[in-house]
Chain A
């Protein structure tokens, strides 16, 4: 219980847990960028230089306003995350009579990978490439993104209808195909983590509880 005696106030020493969803999102993007970085020139080769790249790969709502109108685009968009409730109270007790509980549950989430291109078949081609490569790189993605699993029921949507994305053009020049990939993260908090009791106590005191 020495951690409880930490002289630093909790708001200074306590570290928030990692945003595992953010880590997972970054892992998906790093993998996608790597996948397209290895493609031959002229075949949707990704380059970190936005002016040189043949395909833009970013998370949703990127801050690249000065580089608008570039296609194809592959963008990720995290879906809703929810606890799966794999246990009654999301708590594991390693042994009777010990206070060292572990709070853990699986988080079910999904990653939408949006592929936007001028032609529908072009978007589909890129989407299918990603679709086929996920099983190949599954272990690598899991390791980098600290994910528990990637679901097998990955779905590839139909093309967006003409004019859905950008109105006004005579030819449908912005078409989108989406890839929806379920994934799972096991997030765990152990009571032995640094400052755990400090922060729990501080919060409880703030709530007027002993």
Chain B
């Protein structure tokens, strides 16, 4: 199987994007392979084919973007390679996709790595980010296409996003949520508990307004509308976003988090060593702690 390398997205026109790719040096006959360009609004998919199978072509111009002028909407591409006889296929990049964005330089990569390490191992906690859908099939249950508005809430089809499914598959990540003030607003129609705070996160996944954040304690947050993204040479290093705690009766609380029973039972949001005194050899599970620090033998 051949390998696709160096996928680039380029364009100086708002109505299309050019996708270029190369093939890693190989001895195989490239005429035996077909290339299919796939696209998604979410890095981890789902991707759908944008082209028919192409042979000996290493460039495609996506002209279906006319009218999509959002600054923040992301469009990801990947290349599916398919052997014409056997039907074997593989996708490139193997995980995620490529978008029109600056390539991080070495310094940016190191800055992002150190920040991610800091969040994962010291100050952050495990959480799940559900990217909000911003395209696909509109919800027929609660969305009125004439007014372009939702007509009711608590929709189990779109989780109140107006797009069927509501959110893409969750991405496990590490971030730090600044402890919010517990605020009770005594309004004319009753009391409301309001929590607004800030989320600090690394460079992955890239946050968008409306994304759902789920903490290990099932506290759920919605990403606010002003996200601070720190970049180096236009490459993302870290993110800081305002988040708003979602009322428990809202549809977002019915979005499932599919962890196995064992994963739920043994869930630790921070590294286990953070709960174990490394100087205390009488710890009840020192082997586990050491494994956590140095990694498993395998």
Question: Do A and B bind?
Answer: yes
CA distance A113 to B147 in the complex (A): 25
Q: Which of B213-271 contact A (CB under 8 A)?
A: 222-225, 242, 244, 247-250
Chain B residues near A169: list those with CB within 8 A: 222, 224, 244
Q: Which of A98-145 contact B (CB under 8 A)?
A: 114, 116-122, 125
Chain A residues near B223: list those with CB within 8 A: 170
B209 touches A170 (CB 8 A): yes
A61 touches B186 (CB 8 A): yes
A121 touches B147 (CB 8 A): yes
A69 to chain B, nearest CB (A): 4
A162 to chain B, nearest CB (A): 10
Pick from B153, B193, B210: contact of A117, CB below 8 A: B153
B160 touches A118 (CB 8 A): yes
Q: Which of A149-198 contact B (CB under 8 A)?
A: 165-171, 173-174, 176
A41 to chain B, nearest CB (A): 13
A69 touches B247 (CB 8 A): yes
Pick from A58, A61, A166: contact of B192, CB below 8 A: A166
Chain A residues near B154: list those with CB within 8 A: 118
Chain A residues near B144: list those with CB within 8 A: 121
Closest 7 CB pairs of A and B: A168-B196, A75-B189, A118-B153, A69-B247, A168-B244, A68-B191, A169-B244
Which A-chain residue is minimally distant from B242 (CB atoms)? Answer: A168
Task: Name A's interface SS.
Answer: loop
Chain A residues near B152: list those with CB within 8 A: 119, 121-122, 125
B189 touches A73 (CB 8 A): yes
B150 touches A58 (CB 8 A): no
Chain A residues near B249: list those with CB within 8 A: 69-71
Please tell me if A12 contacts chain B, counting CB pairs below 8 Å: no
In the complex where A168-B224, A168-B242, A170-B222 touch, is A68 in contact with B193 (Cβ < 8 A)? yes
B147 touches A166 (CB 8 A): no
Contact with A along B187-208 (1 / 0, CB 8 A): 1111111101000000000000
Chain A residues near B225: list those with CB within 8 A: 170
Give the interface size class of chain B: 20 to 34
Chain A residues near B150: list those with CB within 8 A: 119, 121-122
In the complex where A69-B248, A166-B194, A170-B209 touch, is A116 in contact with B189 (Cβ < 8 A)? yes
In the complex where A122-B152, A125-B152, A173-B250 touch, is A65 in contact with B184 (Cβ < 8 A)? yes
B193 to chain A, nearest CB (A): 5
CA distance A121 to B224 in the complex (A): 22
Chain B residues near A121: list those with CB within 8 A: 144, 147, 149-152
Please tell me if B106 contacts chain A, counting CB pairs below 8 Å: no
In the complex where A65-B184, A118-B160, A169-B222 touch, is A58 in contact with B153 (Cβ < 8 A)? no
Please tell me if B185 contacts chain A, counting CB pairs below 8 Å: yes
Please tell me if A56 contacts chain B, counting CB pairs below 8 Å: yes
A-B pairs under 8 A by CB, number: 91
CA distance A167 to B226 in the complex (A): 13
Contact with A along B172-193 (1 / 0, CB 8 A): 0000000000001111111111
CA distance A125 to B149 in the complex (A): 13
CA distance A65 to B182 in the complex (A): 14
In the complex where A118-B153, A121-B147 touch, is A64 in contact with B192 (Cβ < 8 A)? no
In the complex where A169-B224, A173-B247 touch, is A65 in contact with B191 (Cβ < 8 A)? yes
A62 touches B147 (CB 8 A): no
In the assembled complex, 20 residue pairs joining A and B whose CB atoms fall closer than 8 Å, in A order, are A60-B188, A60-B189, A62-B189, A64-B191, A68-B191, A70-B247, A73-B190, A75-B189, A77-B188, A118-B153, A119-B149, A119-B151, A121-B150, A121-B151, A122-B152, A125-B151, A166-B194, A170-B210, A170-B244, A176-B189
A122 touches B151 (CB 8 A): yes
A114 touches B189 (CB 8 A): yes
B277 to chain A, nearest CB (A): 39
Which A-chain residue is minimally distant from B195 (CB atoms)? Answer: A168
Chain B residues near A171: list those with CB within 8 A: 160, 210, 222
B177 to chain A, nearest CB (A): 14
CA distance A176 to B190 in the complex (A): 13
Chain B residues near A176: list those with CB within 8 A: 189
Chain A residues near B153: list those with CB within 8 A: 71, 117-119, 122
Chain B residues near A174: list those with CB within 8 A: 192
Apart from A56-B190, A58-B189, A64-B191, list 20 A-B contacts with CB within 8 A. Answer: A58-B190, A61-B190, A69-B249, A71-B247, A75-B189, A116-B189, A118-B154, A118-B160, A119-B149, A119-B150, A119-B152, A119-B153, A121-B151, A121-B152, A166-B185, A169-B224, A170-B222, A170-B224, A171-B160, A176-B189
